[in-house]
Each structure stands twice: as structure tokens, then as C-alpha cells.
Chain A
Amino acid sequence: MINSKITNKVAISFIRILAGIVVLILAFLVGYILIKGLPYVSWHFLTSPSKSVSAGGGISGQLFNSIYLLVLSLLISLPIALGAAIYLNEYAPKNKFVSTLRNSIEVLSSLPSVVVGLFGFMFFVLKFGFGFSILSGAIALTFFNLPILTSSIENSLAAVPNLQREAGVALGISKWETIIHVIIPAALPSIVTGIVLASGRILGEAAALIFTAGQSSPVLNWTNLNPFSSTSPLNPMRPAETLAVHIWKINSEATIPDAVQISAASSAVLLILVFVFNLIARRLGNVIFKKMTAGGK
């Protein structure tokens, strides 16, 4: 009895110590980034272009590129993921064919991002001649988006009670109409949450982008909104270094003297973006849910 009590005390204390160390490590991690980075984050830093050899550069182009790539890749991947999730959750029979496809989605989600980058480089950059471009990058990001989005949307759909499906079907409305007008609206809050969470993850992706979207950010003319012009920020065929790639690049090449400050500041910005995305994801779901159920006409 006494032995077991002592063992208990020792073991529980040990658990507390392990947890304490983890808290310290993670607190150090976040603290280091914020303490080193935040003082350097200013309006000027966020809105001025980066410099390649001298100090004092900003991250305006990288910030824009990250968001633009994210939006483009969502535009490509969302319809596909939605379709796939609908089929898997609403129509799919239980057979070999479907389970093979289901497994292939899991495989895609576990592919190392550098392999996706290599594939994207060979295919979109070289074979299809897209070059280092936002388009190549967006497609590479799509490969990451698809499995994450498909499974999160599928879960959202599965959480809608079957009563709603029966209601539609019993009214002589087709499954498809029920899905579009009843099931998806009902699942929308959780679908949106899933999209925002996925966006947070995509924002930090770098390995797949280095050789697809490229590592350079051409001088941009913010007033040029013609997507076919090479200085337009909207041009999908221009190379686009993202914030995450920027952190990697200035650390690897070390050509600018203030690489550490810029990396820390960029990391802080990325970190805050990811946190904000998470917060939004949690809130947005509730807001949409309230709006949707509160009223029709």
C-alpha cells in the first residue's frame, strides 16, 4: 500500500515535470518569435518591398503573394473538394472502387511537401511551361488543400442529421437538390471553419512553393490591376515568393545584414496570421450558424 502510494506520487510528479518542460519549450518558442520579431513589425515593414542585399526591407510583396496564392488555390481546390466530399458522404456505395479513391486521398495528405514540389516543378514549371509562377504555386498548394478540405467537408456533411435528408427525399426533392439547398447550408458553419483552418496551414507551406511559385518577387506596381501585365500584382504568371519562402530564403542565402530581424518579424507575422485564422475559424462558424437559422426572406 505504502509502496503504491509512493510510486503514485513519484509518477504523477514526473508527469507534471514533463508537462512543465513542454510548456516551457513551447512558451520559449512563441516568446522568442514575438519578442524578437514584434519590435521590428511596423506599418512600414508590412507595406514596403523587400530588399535583396541591403538592410531595412519590408515584406509587402511576400504578404500579398501569400494571400493571393492562398485565394487562388482555394478557388481551384474548393469546388473539387466539395464535389468529392459530397460524393463520398452522400452517394458513394461501399465498394472497392470508392475505398481505393478514399485511400488515395489519404495518401495525398501524407505526401511529403518536397515531393509535391518536385512534381510541380517538373510538370507545371517545366513541362507545361508555366515557369516559376503563381499559377504553378497555386496548383501545388491545391494538392495540399484537396485532402484537407475534402475530409473536413465530408465530416461537416456527415454531421448533418439524417432527418434532414429524409425530409428532402420525402418531399420528392432529389438528393442533389436536398444536398445543395438543405444539407450544405446546414453544414456551412463547420465547412467554413474547416476552410479557414486549412488556410492557416497552407499559409505556412514553403517546401512545395520554392520550386513552383519561385523565390523572387518582381517589382510590383500596385496600381496596375491588369492581370496580363508583368508588373501587375494580379498577374498569375509572375513568380511570387511567399512569406514562408522568404524566411527560408533570407536564412539560407544570408545576403542581407538584417536577416535575423526580418526572419523574426516575418515569423511573428506568420504566427499571428495563423492564430488569427484559428480564432476566426472558431468564431465565424457560430456567426454564420446564427445568421442562417434566424431568418429567410
Chain B
Amino acid sequence: MSLLTADRRAAGAGRAKGPAGRPRAATGRRALIWFGTHAVAIALAIMFMAPLLFMFLTAVMSDEQTLSGDLWPTSWHWGNFAEVLSGDMLRWLGNSLLYAVLGTVFMLVSSVPVAYALARFRFRGRKVAFVLVITAMMLPPQITVVPLYIVWARFELTGTLWPLILPLLFGDAFSIFLLRQFLVTIPRDYADAARVDGCGEFTTMVRVILPMARPALAAVALFQFFFCWNDYYGPLVYAKPDSWPLAVGIATFRAAHNVEWNLTMAATLLTVLPVIIVFLLAQRAFVRGVTLTGVKG
């Protein structure tokens, strides 16, 4: 690489050296860059937050005002939230929780041993198994939906969320992949020490390795929870109106409520709120999980 003679520091690199002793021009330029980058970041941040803000402001407007295009509510209708949080919404909420909680628990129980085996056992076909995990993770669910629907219909489980929850008892490819990626980074010595102490493989996994893998477990559980919470396609295929989760219910909300945008936005906001809260509480696990792999979410 042939490099040039300009004498400029990267804004991000070399943090240790202070600006002291720099020529004036360079300091001014650095200030300009500092100002520029932060200005861009702030502008972008406003744009990123604007839709959520608009949602909120619309959610507390009166029905007539939502059609006016006004930005700021002239009167604050907090009752809108109470109005939507009844009847259908509560049932949808219950269904969403059932799907997400059970789904997450089932996924953890079934995926952890598989990921552990793929990460720590040496056996013939291990590479093939791992490739199959990645394949199953990447291929769209639509490919197998028709025969699966037929099977579930045969068990008379269509019309419920069970066709989406039960398969999670048999491992989720994405979670297996992500957990395995984390487990291979745990030094072998820990497990070996446990084994010397006479622990069986299962005990070693539960007592020694899993506590160390807690961040990865948290990330995987969060992803699964949000996947179920957000899932629209699955419930659309399988669920009936009385087993609809929030995602499907919200999509029909507007038509059912005669296009009352304020109520629609209030309901929508209520589906977003738990996600935001969990994210703020568990931010680190999230970022860690995403960076661990960078697929699906």
C-alpha cells in the first residue's frame, strides 16, 4: 500500500494523544469534524425516533384530530389506551404471551444440548450436522408450510398456536447455531476439570458450561421471545381469531375499528412498548447476541 504525505489524524484513532501542541488549523478542523459528525448523528437520531413519536402523539389525539394531519394534540386523550386495552386486545396479549413464553422455554430446553454436542463432541457427521443446521436456519419457512399444515390439520391443531409452539421442543436451528458459536469459545479446560471431578457429561454441561454461557443463553432467549412476539406469518396460517396473537390482531385492527387512527396507534404502541422496555433492560445481552452472528432477529 502506498500512502501519502498528508498529516492528519483519524478522528477516531489514537485517543491517547491530546490536542495539545497541535497547530491551530488542525484543532479547528477537528472541532469541525466533531461538530459535523454529531450534527449528522443527531439529525439521524431524530429521524429514527420520529415515527415512534408521531405514533405516540397520534395515540393521544381525538378521533377527529387524527384526520387533520396535525402534529400536536390539542387535547390529550389518555383514555385511548384504556379503550383499546380491553376485549380483543387482552385476549391477543394473552395469546402472544403464551406463544412467546412457552416457545422460549421449549427452545431453550431442546436447543441447548444440541448446541453443546455440536460444540464439544467429536463424532462422525458433525460437520454435516452443522451444515444442516445452517441450511435449516437459512431456508424460508414457506417451503415446508403446506405439508406441515396438512399434518397439523390431521391432528386438529390448526386454529391454535400449538403448531408454532410444539416444534420448538425439537430445537431451533438459529438458536443452536448461535449457542454453538458461543460454546466453542469456552476453553476446554473447564469441562475437563469438571470431568476429572467425576461429573457426567450432562452434569458438566448444566453445572459448569451453562453458567458460563449465561450471556449467550440470555441473547438466544431474547431473540426467541421477540421472534414469537413479532411472528405474523405463522399465526396467520394457523391461528383462528380467538387464538390470534397481537401481531395478527393489530393488522386487522384498523379495519375492525373503522379507521380510528388514534385507537390504532394506541394499540400499536402497546405492542411496541414491551419490546422497548425489555430492550432497555437487556441491551447488553442483545448487542452481544447480534454481534455473535448477525442473522435473523
Is A bound to B?
A: no
